[in-house]
A and B are shown apart, each in its own frame.
Chain A
Amino acid sequence: MNFIGNYATWIEQEWIDEILSNDGWTVPRDLSKDPQVQLNEDERKWFSSGYKMSDHFFSAFYKDDCSFEITPPWSPQSWDWWIVKMMPGQFIPVHGDLAMATRKNAKSYWMPWQDWKDGHIFMYEDQTVINYKKGDVYEYDASIKHCAINIGSVPRIVLQVRSYE
């Protein structure tokens, strides 16, 4: 995880309020609504390990789910973005973003929209990322195994950005 900088002042409170008050996509349950979605090898392994496609791991918000537009201030390239909301008890099982390995000069960024809270866990390789601040931006290799869980007492909101050449 490579710290890029802090952009807390760029985050609008109304964005946070909108995410907290809406449902977004229920992942993985709603994936069946999109015929374009293809599970990668790690994701298929979730469901052979006992996770259920009908579960609600977390809520995802894409461009079409939000009234605001995201233009990451740290990246001059083309990008995709989505926001992950995890309520207490929600998680994303261990995985690597395997498609990243085939994208030319793809970069992945992780930006929490809150200061770190007890029980908010992002595990990258073999370590958890803690004591971060709202708006911190980390670049990371998304093809390396990672996972996240909220076993705290308040919702956890993270912006994910992928940039490409």
Chain B
Amino acid sequence: MNWTEELPESCPPKEAFEPDDKVVYRLSASGQSIEDEYQSQRSICPKCTFKNVTECLTRSLSVYDDLAKCQQLQKLPRFKDRWNAILELKLNSNDGMIQQTFKNNHFSWWRTTEFDLTSAKVV
């Protein structure tokens, strides 16, 4: 797979799987599915390190498979009044690999270059 960014060894982890028409949601500030909306922690903050967050996770994107849980995020100070849109994505094996992490409904997505930005729709 051609990943959008360089991944460390054993990343994605063996627990990750190829999605099959998996519908997930991601916040958007611009209201459009553009490259800026798909930036991982590592691409935003090259030096950030948090306890219990592996280098592999920092190179993934967070998505939710529950719209209401994603909408909840818009109440947080970092997102409120700015990240007003939500993108709906239907992920398949070409788009990368995903793993359920942290909480139910939250997935980490390691994205491939094959992911088609125009396939996302604003909900």
A binds B: no
B interface residue numbers (CB < 8 A to A): none
The residues of A with any CB-CB pair to B shorter than 8 Å are none
